Amino acid sequence: MMKTVIIDANNMIWRIAKKMPVLTAPDGNSVQIVYGFLRAVRSSLEMFEPDTALVAWDDGIPVARIEIWEGYKRSRREKKAEPRSEFDQFQFEDTLRQMEVIKQTLSYLCVAQACVENVEADDIIAIACRTVEGKKVVVSADHDMLQLVDSNTKVYFPLTKKPELYTHENFYEKTSLTPRQFVEVKAMIGDGSDGIPGIAKGFGQKSAIELMKKYGSAHNIWEHREKISKMPKRYASAVTKEAWTLFSRNMLLVDLSQTHSNTLARLIRKDITEHRTLDKIAVREYFKEQKFASLLKSFASWIAPFEALKRHSRGPK
């Protein structure tokens, strides 16, 4: 059975940018994000030994979600539009420059890439998990990806003190929830980093999980709203009409199972199955230019997982 590793590019890159010290190439440009990301991709291929690999990229403004809620990722959009300082502007532009280098380098390494204007990587990944045959491993640092876990899909968090792998078998043990319950809890409590407010003031994760474990689903919580409305306020505040209007809206923002696009699904299948050529010479020359001494020293073993992708790459059906 085919196995595909799917990498959440932007999320991984911004986290690497925050963690890694600056590494400067001979031409004066910083390359630490390129170095860190390539190492993360290579490590994932070595660990999971996939037949194919797909890197998913954000591109542009997530118009569809902003139409649902104008506050969606507002602070991030404003920060990009009006950086707080010249240094912030430099960091942002430098990260974008390194992203382009990563895209070019991955094109030499038999790695498929998907990028669609005004579509978030989350949606590309969700559609890929539903449409690509076989087993999938999503490599990300974003907990939103956990809702994608099922019998054919695992989620791996590499950028933590203790890397974690979430599977169909261990998901409940790790979270005390099912993947569906997980996304419903998120819709209830909101996500400050994405500008999504919770459904009621004072109603947090602990209360949401307690209700979810007691009643099993958001639908059942609403069905028992009369009983819950008589409970302490931290529970009762979650079952007002206003709260559940917000819940319905938030589900449209966070529930990746609602992302549908036949066109995008066809593009992803094409990206996965099209023939790609491994250009070892181009990769080695780039490493020489950037003085990646440790990668050059073990180049043969470093590139081996990408050569395995070459063996499995095949033409479009």
Q: What is the pLDDT of residues 148-199, one digit of tens each?
A: 999 999 999 997 778 999 999 999 999 999 999 999 999 999 999 899 999 9
Residue 317 lies in a domain: no
Using N-to-C axis directions, what is the helix angle for 241-254 and 179-189, rounded to 10°? Answer: 120
Same domain, 129 and 12: yes
The CA-based dihedral angle spanning residues 168, 174, 180, 183, taken in that order and rounded to the nearest 10 degrees:
-130
CATH of the domain at 205: 1.10.150.20
Distance in angstroms (rounded) separating the CA atoms of residues 185 and 167? 19
How far CA 61 is from CA of 58, 73, 74, 81, 202, in Å, comes to: 9, 10, 10, 12, 31
Same domain, 48 and 192: no
Judge contact between 138 and 129, C-beta under 8 A.
yes
Instruction: Kindly report the backbone phi and psi dihedral angles of residue 218, in degrees, each rounded to the nearest multiple of 5, phi listed first.
Output: -65, -40
CATH of the domain at 92: 3.40.50.1010
One-letter identity of residue 223: E
How many domains would you assign to the chain?
A: 2
pLDDT tens-digit readout, 80-120: 766 667 657 778 889 999 999 999 999 999 999 999 889 99
Judge contact between 56 and 9, C-beta under 8 A.
yes
Q: Which strands sit side by side in the sheet containing 153-157, from one edge to the other?
A: 112-115, 52-57, 3-8, 135-139, 153-157, 164-166
Residue 200 lies in a domain: yes
In this prediction, residue 86 carries a pLDDT of 67
Same domain, 164 and 99: yes
Give the model's confidence band at 262: pLDDT under 50 very low, under 70 low, under 90 confident, else very high: confident
Judge contact between 19 and 87, C-beta under 8 A.
no
Distance in angstroms (rounded) separating the CA atoms of residues 237 and 243? 7
| Total length of the chain | 317
Tell me what the mean pLDDT of segment 275-287 comes to.
91
Give the model's confidence band at 66: pLDDT under 50 very low, under 70 low, under 90 confident, else very high: very high
Number of CB atoms found within 10 A of residue 228's CB? 19
In this prediction, residue 19 carries a pLDDT of 86
Same domain, 133 and 209: no
Number of CB atoms found within 10 A of residue 273's CB? 18
Identity of the highest mean pLDDT range in 16-30, 105-119, 235-249, 299-313: 235-249
Distance in angstroms (rounded) separating the CA atoms of residues 243 and 240? 5
Residue 302 lies in a domain: yes
Same domain, 162 and 290: yes
Ramachandran quadrant class, 279 (left: phi over 0; alpha: psi -120 to 50; beta: rest) = beta
Same domain, 158 and 190: no
Same domain, 29 and 122: yes
Judge contact between 177 and 209, C-beta under 8 A.
yes
Same domain, 154 and 90: yes
Tell me what the mean pLDDT of segment 21-25 comes to.
89
In this prediction, residue 236 carries a pLDDT of 97
Full domain range(s) for residue 243: 179-254
Same domain, 74 and 197: no
Same domain, 127 and 266: yes
> With 60 as the cut, is the pLDDT of residue 316 above it?
no
In angstroms, the first-to-last Cα distance of the chain is 17
Strand stretches in the chain, DSSP E:
3-8, 52-57, 112-115, 135-139, 153-157, 164-166
